[in-house]
Amino acid sequence: MRSLKQSQRGGAMNTQNYLESLFGMTGQVAVVIGGAGALGGSLATGIGKAGAKIVVADVGEDACKTRVAQLAGEGIDAAWVTVDVMSIESLRKALAVALKPTGRVDMLINCAGINVGNSFLEVDSEQWDKILAVNLKGTMLACQVFIESMLHTGGGAILNIGSVTSDKPLSRVFAYAASKAGVVNLTQNIAQEFATKNIRANAICPGFFPAEQNRKLLDEERVANIMRGTPMRRYGNPDELIGAALLLLSKNAGSYMTGSIVYVDGGFTCSWF
């Protein structure tokens, strides 16, 4: 007769094996563009802890090295490459680095993004062009480069980062909101185009996760408005994006999900404010 402790151990092992079969990413390669940043870094950590080898791709060499050191400190197999998302040549070089370990890239996570806050009449064309170039064109070019590779290696999963501003107006971030609305539309079009090619494309739309790019926008009045419109009455923690990312990227748990837009926003998009 098995003891209670033996049964508990067996149950724990069965649970672990089951969760691994759903969400495990051992042997897979994930490229996280913008992986040196706060949200990208958190996603890189979560995906890495699920077993994937991580390639951190970002614009700054020092930031990439710092992130890879952090990942290595947590036992995650990681490499880095600098990338300019507005350059298709740079993205192809990043792809070449990512292909070295296994000859394929299983996951692409697009987290690169910039933001500037001002009134509508203060938005100038240079600012508008730069934000849309990084946030939308950069996502599009990265998807082009990596999908082309995935078509030759049996498929893969793409995760893009939208925003609650993708479909809900928010003052002082006009170019950013327009770019993120474009990212959502782009994601769904990619999902439709490649659904029969074993390539899935989904997006997470985060709520308010303070980071360097948006912290300067958070004056006292804006914080009060955000909290009033967020039913959970708090900011998000970057780690709170990981669960949604694992689901959308997983070959098994998320196998029938493509074109899905998942909001992780503390209830902001369901608020009547």
At residue 4 the predicted structure's pLDDT band, cuts being 50, 70 and 90, is: very low
Quick one: average pLDDT of 67-72? 98
What pLDDT score does 217 carry?
A: 65
Mean pLDDT lowest among 16-20, 94-98, 209-213: 209-213
- pLDDT at residue 83 in the model: 98
Residue 235 appears among annotated catalytic residues: no
Is it the case that residue 29 has pLDDT exceeding 80? yes
Greater confidence (116 vs 150) lies with: 150
**Which whole number is the average pLDDT over 177-190?**
98
Distance, in Å, from the CA atom of 204 to the CA atom of 244, rounded to the nearest integer, reads 7
Active-site entry in 18, 176, 235, 263: 176
Confidence of residue 219 (pLDDT cuts 50, 70, 90): confident
pLDDT given at position 12: 72
Q: What angle do CA 243, 182, 273 make, to 5 degrees?
A: 70
Q: By C-alpha distance, which of 134, 137, 44, 49 is closest to 98?
A: 44
Mean confidence (pLDDT) of the chain: 93
Q: What does the alpha-carbon distance between residue 91 and residue 98 come to, in Å, rounded to a whole number? A: 10
